Amino acid sequence: MKIFKFGGASVKDAESIKNVASIIKNEGAKDTLVVISAMGKMTNAFEDVVDAYYNKEDSLPEKLNFIEEYHKNILSSLFDKSDEIYEKVNVLFGELGWFLARNTSKRYNYVYDQIICFGELLSTKIVSAYLEKIGQENVWFDARNHIKTDSNYRDAKVDWKLTQELITEKIDTSKINITQGFIAANDTENTTTLGREGSDYTAGIFAYCLDAESVTIWKDVDGVLNADPRAFKDTTLLEQISYEEAIEMAFYGASVIHPKTLQPLERKEIPLLVRSFVNPKETGTKVTKGTRLVPYIPCFIVKKNQILVSISALDFSFMVENNISFIFQKLHDYQLKVNLIQNSAISFSVCIDNKFNKFDAFYDELKTQFKIDVQKQVDLYTIRHFDDNAINLINQKGESLLTQVNKETSQIVVNPN
């Protein structure tokens, strides 16, 4: 069985959905499981609903109306008014409205997951219905009935044993299956999510549990490039990457492949293909066991809007194990992801993501015990297989605040202002 994953950009409008349907018919007309994300920027739109629900209740109807009109405009371009899909979409919006009206929980992450999942449910219902309309039989199913997790909302951990049992038992591998990326459920049947951009991970989970032939991630780029074309003018297609290299690149923040996707694939040596839905005849990039990188050139990864924090003791004492251990515990407690670490005898520096907006609380707790210097809105550049020209290129992007180099990788924190 093959696994295909299509992201939001590939199903952003009616023409895009027609293109996805064409790819499925040409590339995976049978024995294929298709994982689909929310359409276009709908995950952001549903996040706006969550924000309005908590902070701007007067704007909630407007936010919901925007989402409903977006999807119904797509429906009007693909279907007749009498088609059953209209009723299925209305049912989903009814379920969303019911949750917003009846929910009593104050837990933000829980509420976030119960709302955000509707993006994937809507997109997969529409794509599945369109495939049926053009004569391509398929089975739509709810990923939440197959992928089971703990209750760590917004970043749930997969229960692999139960998930394996459910997927093996329930999925007919002889048919085209359509399901959602990103979403799962816990043991009380509440929706959980696998982390932002978790649809790639969903594809990896199904591939592992089904012993898939391959996983193909369909993107709006030709494959895995050596740099993000939004940040660099000249980029090169990487024709082949080893699992090890891809995991390293994902760990440092390469956006084409989700960090958690690769490890289950590597364990069963399932090839990962990254191909273009714009130019589906091109072969793209293959991630597999073997040669680390073809061609062997510097690869650039950038993380924007980071926070650089330098911490030292108030009494000028050394930053030793007990201090650093305490700081790491607090970074964990406040869900601050560390992307770079550098320490000296009297200071300890970290470059972090403030994904959950808890940095200010972290700062307030630590400032009574440590001297803390903070620089916000910095950029972290990571160069795999760096050379002097690559480092010079990054140094031209702003003031270099911190540099760290090892055998394979250079990391540079840059103030772009």
Show binding-site residues for substrate.
43, 120
**CA 280, CA 19: separation in Å to the nearest integer?**
10
**CA 328, CA 25: separation in Å to the nearest integer?**
50
Q: Tally Cβ neighbours within 10 Å of residue 387.
A: 12
Give burial (CB, 10 Å; 0-12/13-18/19+) of 328: middle
Q: Tally Cβ neighbours within 10 Å of residue 61.
A: 10
**CA 77, CA 386: separation in Å to the nearest integer?**
48
Q: Which tokens in the block code for residue 175? A: 């048919």
134 CB contacts (<8 Å, ≥6 apart)? 21, 25
270 secondary structure, DSSP code:
-
Q: Which residues are annotated as a binding site for ATP?
A: 5-8, 230
82 secondary structure, DSSP code:
T
Helices (H) and strands (E) in the chain, counts: 13, 17
* Main-chain dihedrals φ then ψ at residue 201, nearest 5 degrees: -65, -40
Q: Which tokens in the block code for residue 288? A: 């597999």
350 CB contacts (<8 Å, ≥6 apart)? 308, 309, 311, 331, 338, 340, 341, 342
Q: For the chain, how far is it from start to end, CA to CA, in angstroms?
A: 49
**CA 198, CA 179: separation in Å to the nearest integer?**
13
Give burial (CB, 10 Å; 0-12/13-18/19+) of 142: middle
Q: Which residues are annotated as a binding site?
A: 5-8, 43, 120, 230
- The radius of gyration of the chain from alpha carbons, rounded to an integer in Å, stands at 23
CA atoms in the 13 A half-sphere facing the CB of 105: 13
**CA 298, CA 289: separation in Å to the nearest integer?**
20
Closest to 153 in 3D by CA, of 201, 107, 205: 107
**CA 136, CA 130: separation in Å to the nearest integer?**
8
